[in-house]
Amino acid sequence: MLLIHCPYCDETLPEPEFAYAGEAHIARPADPMALTDEEWRDFLFIRSNPRGTHYERWRHVHGCGRFFNAIRDTVSDKFAMTYRAGEPRPNLDALKEAAE
């Protein structure tokens, strides 16, 4: 079972309290009418689906109820970090260097 750190509760808690909510940092276009069908399709359906570092959303649904973001390795399932919704996308390489 995954253990996930909720940045609002500031606790590391078991996965059944959380719900996965897709890739993070995807902003809805401000003016959808200005988009081509292909651009709109890409916004709706096309995701990066990386092998490795993935920026993704989670929700502490059976807890504080908040959405937040996480960086997880899709191969090892290891969480690098979690951070509050609305915060800028952290630079993982810079964080790794700072930790070393």
- Name the residues that contact another protein, by CB under 8 A: 1, 8-11, 13-17, 62-66
Q: Is 71 in the site for Zn ion (CB under 5 A)?
A: no
Among 5, 23, 43, 64, binds Zn ion (CB under 5 A): 64
Identify the residue whose tokens are 């079972």.
1
Q: Shortest distance, CB of residue 72 to another protein, whole angstroms?
A: 19
Measured from the CB atom, the residue of 18 and 55 that comes closer to another protein is: 18
Number of residues in contact with Zn ion under rule CB under 5 A:
6
DSSP per position, 34-69: GS-HHHHHHHHH-----SSEEEEEEE-TTTT--EEE
The entry of another protein, Zn ion, none that residue 10 binds, CB within 5 to 8 Å by partner kind? another protein
CA–CA distance, 51 with 95 (Å, rounded to integer): 20
Under the binding rule (CB under 5 A), the answer on residue 8 touching Zn ion is: yes
**What are the tokens at 96?**
């790794």
